[in-house]
């Protein structure tokens, strides 16, 4: 493990421990989670070729359609069925977490893994537009419960979170390239700070529940890691013969989902297990970066890009 990876682990687990032991510190950051996500997206855009984002070739459209169908329909339905047979109490939490859209932080995770960021960003946009329709339909069909994910809110959030950092990078490339270079040189420590602030904001909400229900928390954490492995493997399997960057992009698109949104809306319709599993997914969300990076380096050929 490289020193940066060790630092990443230390900061992530240290911030989680601080949030659980001193939740009053994390409460300060809870209202700003959206802005922290925007900052991470800004950092991931620093080196992105925006021209590569718009790819409307038939092969590219077919690939993203197939991956989206698996991401939003096939995989969540399959995992829901598997959970019903093995851990029925967690069947609905698994369905909600698995069926949510690719998260806005996914491009930054992809940057750390050297994935095809344009492909990840396309998945963020496409799945965020579709999920207000797909997930309620899945829940109604499989569970028989009505839920509502407001489309207007999703579109507004998508526009704010994605396009403001994008415009900021474009303008700074034109008018302040030296600032871009300065930020890029300090990208890793800045990202660690933002990661820790997100953890403080999320886990401070679960401090009391964490200590009152340690058994459920351990089960949720273990399940979150199992799901994360399944998500990444699914992405890799869906991209046979593709380049390393495209395989990693598919894996990140599956695994780095919008779990914070699940935390927000699932507590309105279901019991505590759904938001708990979504919150505990923060552990593999960040810590899987290191093992996936090692797998990519030693088991995946770099290959050639097949974007077009």
Task: Note the pLDDT of residue 9.
Answer: 79
Q: Residue 104 sits in which domain range?
A: 3-299
Instruction: Let me know if residue 308 belongs to a domain.
Output: no
Contacts of 32 (CB under 8 A, 6+ apart): 197, 201
Task: Note the pLDDT of residue 161.
Answer: 72
Task: Note the pLDDT of residue 49.
Answer: 65
Instruction: Let me know if residue 57 belongs to a domain.
Output: yes
Instruction: Let me know if residue 307 belongs to a domain.
Output: no
Structural domain count, the chain = 1
The per-residue DSSP string of 49-65 comes to: -GGGT----HHHHHHHH
Side-chain-side CA neighbours of 205 within 13 Å: the count stands at 18
Question: Helix-strand-coil percent breakdown of the chain, rounded to 5?
Answer: 80, 0, 20
Euclidean distance between CA atoms 45 and 291, whole angstroms: 24
Backbone torsions φ then ψ of 102, nearest 5 degrees? -60, 135
Looking at residue 19, which CATH number applies to its domain?
Answer: 1.20.1530.20
189: number of Cβ within 10 Å: 12
141-to-92, 94, 127 alpha-carbon distances in Å: 12, 15, 19
Task: Note the pLDDT of residue 2.
Answer: 66
Instruction: Let me know if residue 252 belongs to a domain.
Output: yes
Euclidean distance between CA atoms 184 and 178, whole angstroms: 10
* Mean pLDDT (10-residue bins), the chain, 308 residues: 74 88 90 83 75 68 91 96 94 93 85 86 85 85 72 65 82 90 88 87 82 87 96 94 90 91 72 85 87 82 51
Task: Please identify which residue in the block is written with the tokens 């708990």.
Answer: 276
Structure tokens at 43: 């950092």
Instruction: Let me know if residue 134 belongs to a domain.
Output: yes
Task: Note the pLDDT of residue 306.
Answer: 45
Instruction: Let me know if residue 176 belongs to a domain.
Output: yes
The alpha carbon dihedral of 100, 124, 151, 278 has a sign of positive
Instruction: Let me know if residue 42 belongs to a domain.
Output: yes
Euclidean distance between CA atoms 92 and 254, whole angstroms: 18
Structure tokens at 91: 């069947």
Instruction: Let me know if residue 289 belongs to a domain.
Output: yes
Q: Let me know: does 178 contact 184? Beta carbons within 8 Å.
A: no
């Amino acid at each position: 493990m490289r020193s940066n990876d060790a630092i990443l682990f230390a900061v992530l687990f240290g911030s989680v421990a601080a949030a659980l032991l001193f939740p009053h510190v994390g409460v300060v950051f809870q209202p700003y989670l959206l802005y922290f996500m925007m900052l991470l997206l800004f950092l991931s855009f620093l080196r992105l070729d925006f021209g590569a984002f718009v790819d409307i070739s038939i092969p590219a459209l077919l690939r993203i359609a197939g991956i989206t169908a698996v991401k939003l329909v096939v995989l969540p339905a399959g995992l829901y069925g598997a959970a019903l047979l093995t851990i029925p109490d967690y069947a609905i939490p698994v369905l909600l977490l698995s069926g949510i859209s690719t998260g806005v932080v996914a491009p930054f995770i992809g940057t750390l893994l050297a994935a095809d960021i344009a492909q990840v960003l396309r998945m963020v946009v496409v799945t965020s537009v579709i999920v207000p329709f797909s997930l309620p339909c899945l829940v109604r069909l499989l569970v028989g419960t009505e839920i509502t994910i407001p489309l207007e809110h999703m579109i507004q959030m998508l526009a704010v979170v994605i396009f403001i950092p994008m415009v900021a990078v474009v303008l700074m490339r034109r008018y302040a390239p030296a600032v871009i270079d300065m930020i890029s040189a300090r990208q890793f420590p800045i990202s660690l700070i933002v990661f820790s602030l997100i953890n403080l904001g999320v886990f401070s909400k679960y401090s009391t529940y964490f200590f009152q229900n340690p058994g459920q928390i351990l089960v949720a954490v273990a399940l979150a890691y199992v799901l994360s492995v399944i998500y990444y493997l699914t992405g890799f399997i869906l991209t046979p013969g593709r380049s390393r960057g495209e395989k990693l992009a598919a894996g990140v698109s599956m695994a780095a989902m919008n779990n914070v949104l699940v935390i927000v809306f699932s507590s309105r319709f279901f019991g505590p297990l759904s938001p708990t599993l979504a919150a505990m997914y923060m552990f593999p969300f960040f810590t899987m970066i290191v093992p996936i990076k090692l797998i990519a380096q030693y088991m995946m050929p770099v290959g050639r890009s097949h974007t077009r």
